Structure 1
């Protein structure tokens, strides 16, 4: 009997270790990993704090995520596990993906990465200094603080994948 594919959501703020863990899971499981920052940077460059392009950044990022999820759904239908490395800050987004995974006949899991605010800022600052091409290089402490205020950490029900079962 074949095992159903798994949809894995990487949940956490920038700098919390999501992509590092997602890459490890990709290697260990053979799942296909979708990290929108990598695609965004390849297609559009680091437009996050670019004054003339910042207005387009969110729209571009949403389109990249939509394309990745469209491909992800096709892979799940073909029996291939998928890792969405999006952050999923809102519980509503996570619940939506849970319902979609079930509708596709896939299993579902959340992998939550967390680090204290000071550590997030330290890691993001180090990334910026390294000049890496696979991450946005100009994330400020103010950005992280505003995002942390919006972030809804997953609760035990979510982490168990039960959602009211």
Structure 2
């Protein structure tokens, strides 16, 4: 990786795959700014409805923060479900505008384990009221678009996520 350019880490994977844990570890190891869609949603909306307008406002805020930090020369972890190619393209556009280097991390975890993690009761504020956690998991998991040929990525084993493992995978030592 080119250390002279700021890095925008992007995360791909099932809900419950270990994306947020990976993001927190990267932030701790590297000092990168951690932009969490879950935390930001709860900060922006007292009672999230998960509708399209809320979604638009959330990602507008995250994109603005990412762009600002990257322009300041800071590395950023965009901790959100970037499971669709179109959404990743939007982040690649931010990289082009800011001169940042995109690094796509595909956190791969067996579907059943990810579902078990994602549907745990502690995550309830992150579920839409009109949808069960199982239905939410299936809806998101079923639309994952694997990286395209033109998208280099680093595969992260979601069953091995630890500071030592992430450091080794990303050469952060």
When normalised by structure 2's length, the TM-score is 0.74
Aligned CA distance change for structure 1 residues 160 and 114 (closer, same or farther; 3 Å): closer
In the alignment, is the contact (CA less than 8 A) between 2:33 and 2:74 conserved in 1? yes
- Partner residue in 2 for 1:136: 126
- Partner residue in 2 for 1:146: 139
Matched, 1:158 2:148: no
In the alignment, is the contact (CA less than 8 A) between 1:46 and 1:136 conserved in 2? no
**Structure 1 residue 160: Cα displacement:** 4.3
In the alignment, is the contact (CA less than 8 A) between 1:5 and 1:81 conserved in 2? yes
- Partner residue in 2 for 1:105: 99
Paired residue total:
149
Unpaired runs of at least 5, structure 1? 48-53
What secondary structure sits across from 1:70 in the alignment? helix
**Structure 1 residue 91: Cα displacement:** 1.2
- Partner residue in 1 for 2:7: 6
In the alignment, is the contact (CA less than 8 A) between 2:127 and 2:136 conserved in 1? no
In the alignment, is the contact (CA less than 8 A) between 2:36 and 2:79 conserved in 1? yes
Unpaired runs of at least 5, structure 2? 155-173
Let me know the Cα RMSD of the aligned residues: 2.4
**2 CA distance for matches of 1:120 and 1:80?**
31
In the alignment, is the contact (CA less than 8 A) between 2:83 and 2:143 conserved in 1? yes
**Structure 1 residue 148: Cα displacement:** 1.7
- Partner residue in 1 for 2:24: 23
What secondary structure sits across from 2:146 in the alignment? coil
What secondary structure sits across from 1:158 in the alignment? coil
Deviations along 1:78-126, whole A, 9 cap, x unmatched?
Answer: 1111111111111122123223302311111001112222112211233
In the alignment, is the contact (CA less than 8 A) between 2:7 and 2:102 conserved in 1? yes
Q: Which runs of 4+ in 1 moved over 4 A?
A: none
**1 CA distance for matches of 2:97 and 2:42?**
32
**Structure 1 residue 58: Cα displacement:** 3.7
